[in-house]
Amino acid sequence: MNLMVRIKPIVPWLRLARLHRPADLGLLWLLGLWGIWLGSDGKPAPSAVILLLLALLLLRAFAWLVHDLAIARLTHPQHTLLQMLRALPKSLRILAAAELALALPLLLLLGWPTLLIALSAAALGAAFLALRRSTFLGELLLALAFASATLAGFTATGTLPGKTAWLIYTAAVLWIGAALTQYAALHLQQHARLGIKSITMLFGSADRWLVALLQLFALAALWLAGQQEKLGVFMHIALAVGAALGLYQQYLMASAGDQGYRRAWLNNLWLGLALFCGIAFSYLCRCAA
């Protein structure tokens, strides 16, 4: 009871930072872990891992605040952006400033290439929010921004992205694009009400076949990266598990309506974790040999 009383005052702050719905944070962290494990040949510095995960946590929380402001702008178009910024609650302004003030030093500690990748991802995210009403392919911009976590993982090790990094980035864009298609399907009514376009609207009932195609190409890019790094049998097992989970997601989307799409979206956490285990175990066994 004492613990609950102590936690209660911080609950609104956790909700503002979307920490009560951490599924997308899990995906972001997994992408960062893919990159940092591959960039360090399976031996990342613990400090680099912690700094990267904290930076991704703060940037993701700040991105949600910007997203909420963009949605409010669509809901109340009669208000200017400056008016809306002035009307923000004090708690929201404090939280946004704190997140940026903490994230920037962390990114600088990870190196200027990581900071540049974060700024590029922010620009892509801003373009996504600005173009949501004018293009059905906004999720592509968001996938490009989201997948930048893999490149940040590579640069956090002190190396610039090479061939493997760009293969992993390509796989991440395709996989996250599939996940965002599932997520957009869950918000069709809200998007239609706000005049927002999405790739799910473009493909209609064929959206699950788009998901299958994107996941298939993502697994192919990961296979090429595994061949490039000679990851061996554990990566092959992880890819087989990933393919099986992709088929399971197809089953969920085909048979259970919105609830099925929600479960398929959340299932991506298991898919990403399986692929990370394939990468990590490959290097672990190589070190033990």
Q: Number of C-alpha atoms within 13 angstroms, CB side, residue 234? A: 16
Q: What is the DSSP letter of 80?
A: -
Say what the pLDDT of residue 6 is.
Answer: 46
Sign of CA dihedral 110, 47, 41, 37: negative
d(CA 263, CA 16): 24
Domains and CATH numbers, the chain: 11-288 (1.10.600)
Per-residue pLDDT in tens (0 to 9) along the chain, 289 residues: 444 444 455 556 566 667 778 889 999 999 999 999 999 998 999 999 999 999 999 999 888 888 877 777 777 666 665 666 666 666 677 777 888 888 999 999 999 999 999 999 999 999 998 888 888 888 899 999 999 999 999 999 988 888 999 999 999 999 999 999 999 998 888 888 888 888 888 888 889 999 999 999 999 999 999 999 999 899 999 999 999 999 999 999 998 678 999 999 999 999 999 999 999 999 988 755 4
d(CA 265, CA 262): 5
Asked if residues 179 and 27 have their Cβ atoms less than 8 Å apart, the reply is: yes
